[in-house]
Structure 1
Amino acid sequence: MTGATLLVELLTEELPPKALPKLGQAFANGILAGLRSRGLAPADGASRWFATPRRLAVTVAGVLSEGAPKDVTEKIMPVSVALTADGQPTAALSKKLEAKGIPLSAVASFERRMDGKAEALFHTSTVAGAKLAEVLGGIVQDALRQLPIPKVMRWGDGDATFVRPAHKLTLLHGADVVPGSVLDIQSGRTTRGHRFMSRGDIDIATADAYEPTLLAEGKIIPDFAERRANIEKQLVSEAGRQNATLGEYADLLDEVTALVEHPTVYVGEFEAEFLAVPQECLILTMRANQKYFPLFDTEGKLLNRFLIVSNMELADPSNIITGNQRVVRPRLSDARFFFEQDIKAGLTPRVVKLGSVVYHNKLGSLGDRVERMSTVARRIAGLLGADENLANRAALLSKADLLTDMVGEFPELQGTMGRYYALAEGALPVVAEAIEQHYRPRFAGDALPDSNIGRALALADKLDSLAGFFGIGQIPTGDKDPFGLRRAALGVLRILMEGPLPLDLAELIKHAAEAFNPGVLTVGVDGPLYDFMLERLRNTLRDAGHAQDVVDAVLALKPTRIDLVVPKLEAVLAFQQLPEAAALAAANKRIVNILKKAEGELGEPDVALLVEEAEKALFHAIVEVAPLARSHFQNEAYTDALRVLAGLRAAVDRFFDEVMVMAEEPLVRQNRLALLNQLAGLMNQVADISRLSA
């Protein structure tokens, strides 16, 4: 049976722009799954999803009007219940078959087979395939019900609910309308084009004609990806004509694509005098409030021009351009006013006001927080050889911009405005930069602080949050992380690891916890927080492509110098390539299991108690290589250290071949355990080598 293309389109009021691509894909996936589960669409058939501000749609190729018949086998009942001893149907079987509409004469065709421990009767019947006209409405309704929509609304006098009011439903199979009702709307072949550039209602002749009809008659680009590419091409082209660049624009491009159906790019401008305001303020105003694309020179400096993505294409767009310029001017004026007022008020006078702003009801005020950050930042700065007084100054000013008018209007500018205001009142550049950078990294892949003052402050900020919320029992669970502690932990790990900074994570956690006043933290922090961060580190390393067994081997030793973790991973990976690696890993695993049986403390092995030649050889081999290996460890030359230790393989193999570790003589047994313990301690300074054994 040959299928035809199916079109499903739901026409609505304007859909949420940031969710539109996700809604479009989820709608198409739901319909496709519903068709395939009923045998109406091929498993490998082509499909396309469409999404504009006012529609969700999908086309599916090769859809059948009726699915193929299929055999369905069902269990009737156990043979012991269904048949008498001489094989005749029982009353129970007759009653069951009557209820199912199966004639008693069909019993002869029933299959008998084991079902678990009992034999049962099974009946196979042929069921007609699903009919598209009967099931499509339900498939569409199910797809809508499963969309990732947090809130729905009701409109008109009906009971239908959706994220936005719906107006038209198009269900076309080839050239035929498929009858059905969804959201109280009867299906048809009529849709609507652009609000102003099309002629109103448009009939879709066939499902395959959907896209070309909307393009030609509706003045709409229905495919989200094509519309996005069209906008981007226009933006890049127009920016080139302006001898300008666009900066970062991907997120805004996605949002604007969800706001227009017929994109056309125009150039607007504003008065150059506004450029006296920090460009981050103007950029955020244009992007967030007006959805404009700011233009920059080749050095990244903001120009007094911007690009408008309009939903209208006009021969004379002067009214559109003038209107947008008129709208943006008050926004820029507000930004200038906020900036000028904040400069007048100053940054330092706001520090004392932080004491009246609650950070968390159990963790005190923002003033308490910056005092703690100051304590920890000074300590870290000292460990890094940086100026502790500058770290203290940066910490005290770090949150003051939260009380400014600009940050109150644009919270995204916290830190950024603190830098500008600190410079305006004469702060040293390194202090101002630290104020801006202490929020880094804000997201995956974000830049890190680039000075030791900035690093110290960023670590103090994140560690204060982690220690504080862990200390009051607010630990992330499942997907819930309301205080962003996972992000803070990853930030600490990245700063330490990518710096790299020679700081001890366990000590940093301890310092952060000690900065709180007695009694504030009611839950122990050190162990739980370190374990939490170690797990984040494990996931980060795996995501970066490091082998799981190597990561587990290194982290099994619970390292606290995070800056040395990657060098250790690289050393273990190099060790794995050595011919001795597998045997030594297996021997280490055996040693670990043997040492579990040890009783009491294991001191240094006594050479006088060494009996067998093999154990003497191992002892002397350890004595010979230990100084060089330890020297490599101390110099953080981990690869060289493991290569030296690989030379112990022959002695280790001979020991296990010729020596009975668990000897009957207690002193000999204990001495051999001490020898193995010494070997394990030497071998496992970089990683738990036993974990590399298959």
Structure 2
Amino acid sequence: MDRELLLEIGCEELPASWLPALTEQLAQRLGQRLKDFRLTTDGPVESSATPRRLTAHVTRVAERQSDLEENVSGPAVSAAFGPDGTPTPAAVGFARKYGVEVTDLTRVTTPKGEYLSVVKRERGRAAVDILPDVLGATLRDLPFPKQMRWDAWIDDGKGEFTFGRPIRWMLFLFGGRVVPFVIRRSSGAQSSLVQDVRSGALTYGHRFLAMSGRPGRSVKVRSVSDYKQRLGEHFILLEHSERHDRLVRELDAHARRLGGRVASQPALLHEVADLVEYPSVVAGVFPPEFLTLPDEVLTTTMIHHQHYFPVLDEQQKLLPAFLAVTNIEVEQPQKIAINAERVLTARLRDARFFWDADRRTPLAAKLARLDTVLLHKALGSYAAKAARLERLARWIVTEAFGGTPAQADDAGTAGRLAKADLTTDMVREFTELQGMMGGIYAREDGSSEGVWKSIYYQYQPVGVEAQQSPTAAQLGDAALPWAAVAIADRVDTLVGLFAAGEQPTGTRDPFALRRAAQGLVKVLVDLPDVGGVSRQVALEGIVAEARRAYEAQGLVTDVAGKTQSLGAFVVERLKFLCERRGYRPDEIAAVLPDGQGLAGLAPLSVRQRLDALRAVRPSGDFEPLAVLFKRATNIVKDVPAGDPATLDLAAIRAALAEPAELALADALEARRTAITAAVGQADYSRALLEVAALRPAVDRFFTEVFVMVDDAALRQARLSLLAALRDTVRGIADLSAIAGPQA
């Protein structure tokens, strides 16, 4: 306990979504500030959080700062001494400033000349005197999604102090003693009602629970172990993992009593564990008549609107029951359950009303109302978008995918109906169901699987991981039409909003265009696995077709000119996907070089070439060849790129003479056909193995041949040979970007 540091910031309820990041940031920022103030620690900073408190502690902190010793540069020697060697006022003033004699100054030679220097020494201060500054800096460091002004300031000369929520108390102990710290409050008209927040040795228990006495009372602590024990005694589970595990146990126990099991909802479980300090569970039921509503409506109402957990039977079907989490230990759970049941039943009655109202007319009949829903002031209504999606989705199936007429019809119909559910009562009330309800209504209207599933899954995937929904099993025969609709929707959105001047910035992306681009490249990268399409679909043609659709409608002018930056934007999202999937940065740079735009870009080809690099890289010849290729690329950097297919190696060979260069020309000629054939079949692993077989000839060339000879014709022939090597290999990857052996 002698040198341990304990900090608790007690505040008004923090949003659950903030706590994971704040827990991590508090540990990082406090640890960094301790280093900045030269206070060494034994072990890392450990942090925890509940809705009402942020906590951090360190096992041991040094009792004093480390002594400071640094060299301080002064005036130039030429300005510090006169011609006779007498110190000038510049030298005398510099020495006086640091309390030394001129003779104690040293001379330091730098690239700019010779300067006077002095060693500045500063004895470290006691930790207890420095820790208030550490806390003040840490509090100002903490990032919040939204800062709150609450008429507070800290005496650090930086003025007003904002925070995520008003701070109500601070526990700040070092070695069992309180470290003084004050947050000043405003001295306005009501200053008599507002008190400064001062650090102390007190924390506070649960607001509503207590073993004895009143809830929420102050609790005095002296150490980290004492702090954790006392909080536990006062119904505070400090660690997220404790609250999570307690929830899992109670949810499972209550679900078994209901004859079922809890529906898997890891995101909800993670969130609810940060909504409460002492979680308990109560079970409730709702009228079975509501089970006739789609499961998506029931689960959305329970999960997203009420934070309730659905319960499933052994056949994975919903039971007319739910589990609710409370922040108190319930003595009469039926009373809480009754109130929860009333709220949920009211919401389900609303959902039933919306369902019945929407079902009076088929989904196609709602298209006329899309004229009243604005997409963007420069892009018109969703009715115009529906027409573009129908045309573009059909074009993608026939021209890009090579699909059947029936698949094109499904994709076109789904594209036309994709946004119709925006006009439904259900989606206006339950916005989370957008897309899904359109698919459900289309299914109820008797639409084919290719149509209703394409609508249902149109907004998926939402991430870049390979296992993201929808899967091939979920899509079935609808895979190809769905892929066409998903691509068409995202490309139409990107082209239109870029043309309307809504490009994202570093901090602004109100139309979620990054998410749209990520979904686009994810669909294209995983086409064989999910969409059932083995073609390497080029993105440039799809974007061009989307531009033509906007031009045909006359909504925006100069679409091509206004969307020139779209290619670089999509490539950045593709690089992000590759990074998230574990490809090395130099591999990504080899396949997606800087400046890569839409021209020739097929995301599936990028993935296949990266997989090939990963497979071939362990070969003993590969990385040495990459080093040689980098050398060749540097030599011919000024030689324009050419088409390997039209290259006349025989003409180049005729101008060569040395055995080593003739051997390289012969090896390249022998391998070029195999490399080209492998690339044409998208067999990039075989193509790279053929390239790796060139290593002996390339190695010999650079050992025996000097390229930049005086003979202009011979020099040009050798440069042309190396350029031919470069252009042949760059069809697969730019090996000059490969960094070196893997760690």
1:15 aligned residue = 14
CA offsets per residue over residues 7-44 of structure 1, 9 Å max, x none?
A: 3323332222321333344345444444444344x333
2:604 aligned residue = 563
Check the 8 A contact 2:73/2:115 in 1, yes or no. Answer: no
Give the one of 134, 149, 153 matched to 1:153: 149
CA offsets per residue over residues 618-665 of structure 1, 9 Å max, x none?
A: 666666555555444433333334445555566666777788878988
Q: Is 1:522 equivalent to 2:558 in the alignment?
A: yes
Shift of 1:3: 3.6
Letter in 2 for 1:356: T
| Structure of higher CA gyration radius | 1
* 3-state DSSP of counterpart to 2:338: helix
Q: Is 1:339 equivalent to 2:368 in the alignment?
A: no
* 3-state DSSP of counterpart to 1:421: helix
The whole-number CA distance in structure 2 between the counterparts of 1:309 and 1:164 is: 24
Change in Cα spacing, 1:566 to 1:172, as seen in structure 2 (3 Å) is closer
Check the 8 A contact 1:473/1:523 in 2, yes or no. Answer: no
Check the 8 A contact 1:219/1:262 in 2, yes or no. Answer: yes
1:687 aligned residue = 733
CA offsets per residue over residues 124-153 of structure 1, 9 Å max, x none?
A: 444351351x44444333322222232313
* 3-state DSSP of counterpart to 1:367: helix
1:489 aligned residue = 517
Check the 8 A contact 1:137/1:182 in 2, yes or no. Answer: no
Change in Cα spacing, 1:620 to 1:142, as seen in structure 2 (3 Å) is closer
1:366-515 correspondence runs (5 A): 366-382=382-398, 383-386=401-404, 387=406, 388-445=408-465, 446-448=468-470, 450=475, 451-500=479-528, 501=533, 502=535, 503-515=537-549
* 3-state DSSP of counterpart to 2:323: strand
Q: Is 1:107 equivalent to 2:101 in the alignment?
A: yes
Check the 8 A contact 2:587/2:613 in 1, yes or no. Answer: yes
The whole-number CA distance in structure 1 between the counterparts of 2:81 and 2:718 is: 72
Change in Cα spacing, 1:398 to 1:188, as seen in structure 2 (3 Å) is same
Shift of 1:76: 6.5
Check the 8 A contact 1:221/1:261 in 2, yes or no. Answer: yes
Mean Cα deviation higher: 502-511 or 617-626: 617-626
Shift of 1:389: 1.9
Shift of 1:96: 6.6
Change in Cα spacing, 1:300 to 1:527, as seen in structure 2 (3 Å) is farther
CA offsets per residue over residues 451-482 of structure 1, 9 Å max, x none?
A: 11111100100111122223344333334333
Check the 8 A contact 1:7/1:170 in 2, yes or no. Answer: yes
Shift of 1:444: 3.4
1:604 aligned residue = 648
Mean Cα deviation higher: 375-384 or 531-540: 531-540
Q: Is 1:144 equivalent to 2:139 in the alignment?
A: yes
Letter in 2 for 1:110: D
Change in Cα spacing, 1:110 to 1:284, as seen in structure 2 (3 Å) is farther
TM-score (norm 1): 0.86
2:228 aligned residue = 211
Change in Cα spacing, 1:551 to 1:559, as seen in structure 2 (3 Å) is farther
Letter in 2 for 1:146: D
The whole-number CA distance in structure 1 between the counterparts of 2:90 and 2:717 is: 77
Q: Is 1:164 equivalent to 2:165 in the alignment?
A: yes
Shift of 1:397: 0.7
Structure 2's unaligned 5+ residue stretches are: 155-159, 185-195
Change in Cα spacing, 1:530 to 1:76, as seen in structure 2 (3 Å) is closer
Letter in 1 for 2:469: A
Shift of 1:377: 0.3
Letter in 1 for 2:141: Q
1:6-85 correspondence runs (5 A): 6-40=5-39, 42-45=40-43, 47-63=45-61, 66-67=64-65
Letter in 2 for 1:566: R
* 3-state DSSP of counterpart to 1:306: strand
The whole-number CA distance in structure 1 between the counterparts of 2:736 and 2:88 is: 65
Identity %: 33
* 3-state DSSP of counterpart to 1:489: helix
* 3-state DSSP of counterpart to 1:491: helix
Shift of 1:405: 1.5
Check the 8 A contact 1:559/1:565 in 2, yes or no. Answer: no
Change in Cα spacing, 1:320 to 1:72, as seen in structure 2 (3 Å) is same
Letter in 1 for 2:279: P
1:637-676 correspondence runs (5 A): 637-644=683-690
Give the one of 617, 632, 645 matched to 1:590: 632
Letter in 1 for 2:149: M
CA offsets per residue over residues 31-65 of structure 1, 9 Å max, x none?
A: 4444444344x333354323222222333322456
CA offsets per residue over residues 504-549 of structure 1, 9 Å max, x none?
A: 2221222122121255242526764334323332332243233444
Change in Cα spacing, 1:68 to 1:320, as seen in structure 2 (3 Å) is same
* 3-state DSSP of counterpart to 1:195: coil
Q: Is 1:551 equivalent to 2:622 in the alignment?
A: no
Change in Cα spacing, 1:6 to 1:381, as seen in structure 2 (3 Å) is same
The whole-number CA distance in structure 2 between the counterparts of 1:638 and 1:156 is: 63
Mean Cα deviation higher: 440-449 or 25-34: 25-34
Letter in 2 for 1:539: F
The whole-number CA distance in structure 2 between the counterparts of 1:34 and 1:668 is: 64
The whole-number CA distance in structure 2 between the counterparts of 1:240 and 1:368 is: 51
Give the one of 118, 125, 132 matched to 1:129: 125
Mean Cα deviation higher: 455-464 or 640-649: 640-649
Check the 8 A contact 1:587/1:690 in 2, yes or no. Answer: yes
Change in Cα spacing, 1:190 to 1:630, as seen in structure 2 (3 Å) is closer
Mean Cα deviation higher: 493-502 or 536-545: 536-545
Letter in 2 for 1:316: Q
The whole-number CA distance in structure 2 between the counterparts of 1:230 and 1:154 is: 35
Check the 8 A contact 2:76/2:116 in 1, yes or no. Answer: yes
2:312 aligned residue = 296
The whole-number CA distance in structure 1 between the counterparts of 2:424 and 2:362 is: 9
Letter in 2 for 1:54: R
Check the 8 A contact 2:504/2:513 in 1, yes or no. Answer: yes
* 3-state DSSP of counterpart to 2:59: strand
Shift of 1:305: 1.4
